[in-house]
Amino acid sequence: MGPQQDRASGLVDDASDEVVEPSEDERAAWERVRRSARGMRHHEAKSAWDSAREAAEDGSRTGRDAAIAQAEADEWERITEALFDHAGAYDSADDPFVQGELEGRAHHAPPPPGRR
């Protein structure tokens, strides 16, 4: 995601450009999408993204449910774009964004007990 997408997704606060950590609900939504996307090719991910986008835009969800639906649609979009010029199927183990996210979270994790 670029800075504009980060702002649109709520990951960056427009007023201060401060990075806002995604909620646990958003992280869980991303994980569900990644599990569903495993093995999909671009056209399959595109179809899932279309469905997720419709669900996020239908207006029947509010609050937490709307945020989760939007997080799912955003992740389907990211995966679809990643597969655009990729001949293979999706696997989060091969997704540089996911691997970077895991590495970043590992660096921010508290040290194990007894280590400083």
**Alpha helical stretches, state H, 10-41:** 24-37
Quote the pLDDT of residue 111.
64
> Taking the chain, what is the end-to-end CA distance rounded to the nearest angstrom?
33
Tokens of 69: 């639906």
**Which backbone phi and psi does 19 adopt, to 5 degrees?**
-75, 130
pTM above 0.75, yes or no: no
pLDDT 10s digit of each residue in the chain, 116 long?
444 445 445 555 556 677 788 899 999 999 999 999 999 999 999 999 999 999 999 988 899 999 999 999 999 999 999 999 877 899 989 888 998 888 887 776 666 676 55
